[in-house]
Amino acid sequence: RLVAGIEKKRSLLGEAERRVVAKHEVGHAVVGTAVALLVPTCPKVEQLSIVSRTGGALGFTYFPPQEDRVLLFTDEVAGRLATLLGGRAAEEVMCGR
């Protein structure tokens, strides 16, 4: 609840759209986990949800911040970018869209 908002009681998504959201979020989680193993300073996935929230998110993948930092190194930025694109890549591979 503190991370992504209150769960919506009524989902406007159909079954096919829910499947796409699930695959999208799993894509973030899989790539994020791989990045965390390769780059020790990147956070690990802590929570995944495919339930719509009041904040407008259809789902979310939560990576807790490790510490307050001002600078990110190149490998960390590349890891974050790969993680963000992992959701879209999963849609392409699994759904053909």
Choosing from 25, 76, 91, 92, the catalytic residue is 25
CA 4/CA 15 separation, integer angstroms: 22
- Gap between the Cα atoms of 28 and 80, Å rounded: 10
H helix or E strand, kind and range, residue 93 = helix 74-95
Residue 25 appears among annotated catalytic residues: yes
Active-site annotation, residues: 25
